[in-house]
Amino acid sequence: MSAAVERPAHRQVKMTDGFWAGQLDKIHRVTVWDVLNKFENDHEEGIMKNYEWVIEGKSGSHVGPPWYDGLICEVIRGISDIIAVNYDEKLDKKIEAYTEIISAAQEKDPDGYINTYTTLICPDKRWGGNGGSLIWQHETYNIGCLTEAGIHYYKATGKKGLLRCAVKAVNCMCGVMIPDPGTAGYPGKNIVPAHSLAEEAVIKLYRLFQEEPGLAGEMKEEYGVCAEPERYFRLAKFWMDHRGVHQDRYSMPHYMGEYSQDHCRITEQSEVVGHAVRAALMYTGLTALGMEACASMEAGASTETGASMEAGVEGTNEYLKAAKRLWDNMEQTKLHISGGIGAVHNEERFGYQYDLPNDAYLETCAGAALAFWAGEMHRAFGDSKYMDVLECAVMNNVLPCLSEDGTYYFYENPLVSDGDRSRWSWHGCPCCPPMFLKIMACLQDYIYGLAPGRLYVNLHMGSRYEGMLTCSDGGSVGIAVEQKECGLPWGGTNSIVLHPEKKTEFILAVRKPAWAGEMTVLVNGEKADCPVEKGYFLMEREWQDGDVVRIAMELPAVKVEAHPFVTADSGRVALLRGPLLYCIEEADNPEGTDVELGDEKLVTEESSLFGGIRVIEGVTAEGKPFRAIPYYLWNNRGEGKMNVWLRQRKDGKRQEERVEDAAGFAAHGAGTGNGEVDLIGWEGRLYRRYQ
């Protein structure tokens, strides 16, 4: 099984106008430089001092925690994606300077190993051996981040210096961790990533050399570095296959448990558990590996008998089966209304099923990791529900990280506040700004999708794609597609203009978001009567230059309720309009944010706040006015109370009275004092429009 829906190359898509183009412009002009300046002055010495100390042969000191190597490499990846489409010479030169320092530090080790913390602080505990701790040392994570940085910077600029560092470091891991073909027994060290990310990064390195077969020769000729893509695939597979295999584990701790998704084999895992960032990044790598494993098997099908080939493909599909099983568990029982994951502060981990407290942790990094996982799941299965989650996580869990001025950040994104939370200028563990930059800088990659005979519009965002479309007959045609006058998230209109180089028959698949109300589709001014499949309107016709598809989506302000098992939200509703989650903030509601709503109609109004937004207004059950603003904008007007889940009066009763009526309600749905919990209509759903 190759990917169901491929993504265009990053450089082929550009944000052109509208809400997201404005956000990315601010990130490029302000946030990127803010993050770089703060890292370079962190702990007085600055983040690059670690590499400089390695170059100088010093030891005993390290700036910041062990994962600082990874954080600066994540920033490099984000910057690379930005300058790939909006070239910035100053940023390019900044990365060149970083590359020179990183490369010089790596040259100090003959094996290509690079992890400044281990080298400077505990050189005898490489890979978490000899009583070290892989969970703390972050070696595979840091090298994974370096690998992504090298790939993305190469794709942005064609420069191979950082990619060379990545290849050498991954070659080093291969030599340590996987057995060589033909050797007897098990010569490799049983080491699996304690903090995931390297799994997908190594698959991306493998994929790069598959897509550019001449690149390996260039690397060898220019740098004397031998790329070994088949070993990269084997390394990622080794890591995944050895989850939960603790016998002969080399690194410490031998058993990392649910915290690092190491409690059992991946084929036996059925519930998302442990550290939410590590988990979502591991599941992203799992999905990517599953697609590559199946594609590899399909490519070799001609050399196998039908029966043996089919059995092999079925075996590799176990990765995708596991990814689907874990996704469904997450989406149906552990996903907050904001697209946030990781409810529990202790270990930054998932809670139990339906354990979704409103003061939950919901780390920004976890939201970004979930978006990456959603993107891979969409590639694998082509269902719009994955784009629904990606959009929700980015809009309502990741975007709130950043202040309106672009220089302050949230680590946690709870759905209620007593007024004691504020974004910080910097943090002792500033992991969220780099992850924020990564997902925002590559957001355009998810807007469009490609499959034989089909062009997908996944996200309604002002943008333009220029590239090739593979036709159903195997041929290809050049095409450009642009989304113009896209009003989201404030208005529900969008125009999709097609520019094929010649008249071409294909299917245009336009996503119908789960949040959309009535949605009208017009093709060249005429209403389109088209089927909906996997959440997409499918328009099959012969398209020509200048054809226009106009979209009109109703964006009513709605109340949403949570599954009855989510006791934290019993008798409460959340307010949504289009893709945006709303909240009540003390700045607009000085009498309090713990309000109770009745059945009065919600109204949306234009406001001059924050340069022009839409607010939701109404009256409480007591007849007092209230105002709600988009959740991503809260805490931009000073400290104050905030609330997302609001009490809802029903059948004339206050929430307190309904709770008394439901005395005896079991935490996970055994029933109430008056009978069983009503679960009709909740099959596979965690949230639904309030009735």
Q: What is the SS3 string spanning 24-65? A: HHHHHHHHHHHHHHHHHCCCCCCCCHHHHHHHHCCCCCCCCC
Q: In this structure, which amino acid lies at residue 223? A: Y
Instruction: Kindly list the averaged pLDDT for each block of 10 residues, start to end, along the chain of length 691.
Output: 88 97 98 98 92 97 97 98 98 98 98 98 97 97 98 98 98 90 65 98 98 96 95 96 95 96 96 98 98 79 36 61 98 98 97 97 98 98 98 98 98 97 96 98 98 97 97 91 97 97 96 94 95 97 97 96 97 98 97 95 96 97 97 97 96 64 46 60 92 73
Q: How many residues does the chain have?
A: 691
pLDDT given at position 673: 37
Cross-strand bridge partners of residue 511: 536
3-state secondary structure of 486: coil
Cross-strand bridge partners of residue 325: none
pLDDT given at position 635: 98
Phi, psi of 251 (to 5 degrees): -75, 155
Q: Which part of the chain has CATH 2.60.40?
A: 467-553
Q: Which of 610, 605, 550 is nearest to 577 (CA)?
A: 605
* Cα 32 versus chain centre, distance: 19
pLDDT given at position 650: 84
Task: Determine how β-strand 548-553 pairs with β-strand 603-607.
Answer: unpaired
d(CA 589, CA 599) in angstroms, rounded, equals 19
CATH of domain 467-553: 2.60.40
* Cα 574 versus chain centre, distance: 23
